[in-house]
Amino acid sequence: MFIPQKIFGILGYPLGHSLSPLLHNFGFQTLNYPGAYFRFEKQKAELNAFMQSLRQLPISGLSVTIPHKEAVIPFLDKITPEAKQAGAVNTIYWEDTQLCGDNTDIIGFSLPLEKMIIKHTDKSESYDSKLLLKDYSSLILGAGGAARAAIIGLKKMGCNDIQITARRKEQAEELATEFNIKTIAWEKRAELPTNILVNSTPLGLKGERESLSPLPDFTINPIKENKLNNLFIAYDLIYSPAETVFLKTAKAQNRLTLNGLPMFIEQGLAQFKRWTGHDLDYNQVLNIIKKAL
């Protein structure tokens, strides 16, 4: 009989849509690990009391999502370099008596993109991932928390030509200054030659925004010429629905497309490894999540 002895969970608000409990509880049961994963749905006004009590509660680890990824940092004893660079924490864990924060969204963003580029170019598995994107340009649509992970991931893969745009010009300019990248006007977003186009906005998300796209007049986005090839990838960080309007349009124009499901799984697998020291099988988790979706 499976008896949980360690408590994990996700902290955020709202949490009704989250698939993290499915991923982690599947992992615990598959490996017969004595853990159970719950939802801790807390609004901003409740965060202080929850974080203060965390040191007295028998909680071994937490996923952190909107709107608390930045707000939890002052309550932690230390954070990893990745979390510090991102200015956000999505994973809380214990290191002896210290409460620590990490950010696995960066590796979650990077790994699926790296795999796709290797698959569709002449690069081999032995290619230096830090140089993978040195000949490519990228444009990020949106300037929220997900955009931060995208910027850092692209930089770690060697992309030096990164531009960002958002409906709120000042928000894009703030991120551009922080990370030393460029901005373009939101109205010019469909005109910029690029190789990797990332949607980090909620436009297209299942629900009231599902019929929307960050590029409603998306014709054929110009491709930046480079000495390797004319690779173009439309990368939507949304995973529900699996194919947004943004991706459907790109696919209709024979562009490579990537949705946010691999990112969600990869960041979750990195969390699971951080907490338990164990790896989960990616394809098994993918099948479970797809069935739920």
As annotated, the binding site includes: 18-20, 65, 90, 105, 142-146, 237, 239, 260, 267
Residue 71 burial (CB < 10 Å; 0-12/13-18/19+)? middle
Beta bridge partners of 8: 37, 61
Nearest alpha carbon to residue 273 among 42, 157, 84, 111: 111
The answer to whether 166 touches 198, Cβ cutoff 8 Å, is no
Annotated binding-site ranges for shikimate: 18-20, 65, 90, 105, 239, 267
- In angstroms, the CA 6 to CA 32 distance is 12
User: CA of 131: how far to CAs of 114, 134, 155, 160, in Å?
Assistant: 11, 5, 9, 10
Residue pair 236/248 in contact (Cβ under 8 Å)? The answer is no
Asked if 35 contacts 8 with a C-beta cutoff of 8 angstroms, the reply is yes
Query: Which helix (H) or strand (E) segment is 47 a member of?
Result: helix 44-53
Which spans in 121-196 are helix H?
145-156, 169-179
CA torsion sign for 54, 55, 56, 58 is positive
**Cα–Cα distance, 250 to 235 (Å, whole number):** 10
* Residues that are catalytic: 69
C-alpha span between 112 and 107 (Å, rounded): 9
* Strand extents, DSSP E, the chain: 6-12, 35-41, 59-64, 78-79, 91-95, 98-102, 137-141, 161-165, 182-183, 196-199, 233-236, 256-258
Q: Which residues are annotated as a binding site for NADP(+)?
A: 142-146, 237, 260
Measured CA to CA, the distance from residue 167 to residue 186 in angstroms comes to: 6
